[in-house]
């Protein structure tokens, strides 16, 4: 069970917190139906994502065994047999695809979940080493999670939200690739041999610029599509730009540092980035609900 839990990459479930963003920003998260739909959607994504992680490790079994750190993964090390891993992946996938029946009118969310499975399988078996395309595929996983939170509860989302989520996802993926290239070089991923530090720096700057610009415009927009549409909460909602910009600067600094800190490591381990995330969430929740 310990090996299975390791293969499921449970710490990666933090990514599924993105499903909370849309209902939270809309001020509807604590409505009973929306809350239930969101919890079910998160659970479904957690199980389906773990199913995909196991398939990925099975696909990379031989290369992982030659890797200095990945050889300690449950499947590569032999702690979890390929047969047991495949069975667990199938079971997790089935349960994950069953859970959305508890969502009110689940057709739209099922479409999101199926799209996630298709793009993930495409990444695992065909496009993992396709330069630039693989960045888009990994980023799309973040986007589908964020958009899935809105679809699960039939919440309309603004254009600003879609732009921020799309380029924010790309920013995180490019930041991870940049940190990997600096930390362990192209031996970590075959596709990294196709990238240079200069290219990843430019891509990181491009995506960060779009994210900051779009988020600031979203935060000051007082129309029905803007964060500041709640007139009595304009100040706290506009102040959310501060932790967002500071967090992006920290992520850029970490990705391009000699240590090559990935965005995931910063979110999970860096106290400053965690405090900025809490401040952002507090300002959004306070401005939206209080």
Measured at the CA of 102, the angle between CA 101 and CA 104, to 5 degrees, comes to: 95
Q: Give this prediction's pTM.
A: 0.88
Instruction: Determine what percent of the chain is predicted with pLDDT higher than 90.
Output: 64
Q: 71-126, pLDDT tens digit by residue?
A: 888 999 999 999 999 999 999 999 999 999 999 899 999 999 999 999 999 999 99
d(CA 200, CA 185): 13
**pLDDT tens sequence across 81-95:** 999 999 999 999 999
Positive or negative torsion for Cα 136, 141, 144, 145: negative
What is the mean predicted confidence (pLDDT) over 178-206? 84
The per-residue DSSP string of 28-69 comes to: -TTSHHHHHHHHHHHHHHHHHHHHHHHHHHHHTHHHHHTSTT
């Amino acid at each position: 069970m310990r090996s299975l839990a390791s293969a499921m990459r449970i710490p990666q479930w933090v990514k599924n917190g993105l499903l909370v963003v849309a209902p939270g920003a809309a001020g509807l998260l604590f409505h009973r139906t929306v809350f239930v739909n969101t919890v079910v959607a998160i659970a479904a994504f957690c199980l389906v994502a773990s199913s995909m992680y196991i398939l990925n490790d099975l696909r990379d079994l031989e290369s992982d065994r030659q890797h200095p750190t990945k050889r300690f993964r449950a499947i590569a090390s032999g702690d979890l047999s390929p047969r047991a891993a495949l069975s667990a992946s199938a079971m997790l996938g089935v349960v994950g695809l069953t859970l959305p029946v508890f969502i009110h009118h689940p057709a739209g969310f099922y479409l999101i979940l199926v799209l996630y499975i298709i793009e993930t399988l495409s990444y695992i078996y065909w496009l993992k080493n396709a330069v630039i395309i693989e960045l888009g595929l990994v980023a799309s996983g973040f986007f589908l999670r964020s958009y899935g939170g809105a679809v699960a509860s039939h919440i309309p989302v603004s254009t600003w939200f879609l732009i921020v989520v799309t380029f924010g996802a790309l920013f995180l993926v490019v930041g991870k690739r940049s940190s990997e290239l600096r930390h362990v070089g192209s031996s970590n991923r075959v596709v990294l041999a196709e990238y240079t530090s200069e290219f990843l720096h430019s891509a990181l700057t491009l995506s960060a610029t779009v994210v900051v610009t779009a988020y600031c415009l979203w935060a000051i927009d007082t129309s029905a599509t803007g964060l500041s549409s709640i007139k009595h909460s304009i100040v706290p909602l506009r102040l959310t730009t501060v932790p967002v910009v500071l967090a992006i600067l920290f992520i850029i600094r970490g990705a391009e540092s000699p240590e090559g800190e990935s965005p995931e490591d910063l979110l999970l381990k860096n106290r400053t980035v965690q405090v900025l995330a809490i401040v952002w969430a507090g300002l959004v929740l306070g401005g939206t609900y209080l």
